[in-house]
Structure 1
Amino acid sequence: MRKRERSEDTRHKIELGGLVIKASLGDEDRAYILGVLLTGNRRKGDAQLREQMIKLGHEALRQ
């Protein structure tokens, strides 16, 4: 079971890394990427902004 959990965790991290690449942030400083993510997380309570970000994300995933 532990091996399966580690494999799932690894896959999840790879998928998240793929999203960073998809967002054209792969060449950015790691601190900048983390700052962007932390800012987004702090603002996720803003329902309107959240909906805009979800829409933008869906559009980018379709490309």
Structure 2
Amino acid sequence: MAGLERKRRFLMTADRKREARERFLLGGIVVRAGLSNADRAFLLGGLLEMKRLVPGTPEHRRLCDIGELAFRAAAFDGGLERFEKAPE
């Protein structure tokens, strides 16, 4: 009986750690995009709009391409400065 309780607690802890890591990684994406000071409602609205995009559509692919380039730039340059500038 005690063994089952110990296993249940271990699994709950593992789930909580997994969820915390996921939140941490998602928060890091917000910071990388330069949106750490953005209004929470704005962020949620934008994410909900992105959720509506059908995978494989031109807009979905365009956003994926931008994200992939930004991740590569951050990995090599240590930052996203070139993606934060407004187009001229």
Bigger Rg, which one: 2
Work out whether the TM-score is over 0.5. yes
Partners of 1:29 and 1:10 in 2: how far apart?
A: 22
Q: Which amino acid counterpart does residue 14 of structure 2 have in structure 1?
A: R
Partner residue in 2 for 1:45: 54
Higher relative contact order, structure no. (Cα contacts within 8 Å, ≥ 6 residues apart): 2
Deviation at 1:37, TM superposition (A): 0.5
TM score, norm. by length of structure 1:
0.91
Match of 2:64 among 51, 54, 58: 54
Q: Write the letter of the residue equivalent to 1:9.
A: E
Pairs aligned (count): 62
Matched ranges for 1:1-63 at <5 A: 1-42=11-52, 44-45=53-54, 47-62=57-72, 63=74
Which ranges of structure 2 fall in alignment gaps of 5 or more residues? 1-10, 75-88
Offset from partner CA, 1:5-63 (integer Å, 9 cap, x none):
10000000010011111111101010011011111111x11611111111100111112
Q: Which runs of 4+ in 1 moved over 6 A?
A: none
What's the RMSD between the two structures over aligned residues?
1.1
Q: Any stretches of 5+ residues in structure 1 without a counterpart?
A: none
| TM-score of the superposed pair, with normalisation by structure 2 | 0.66
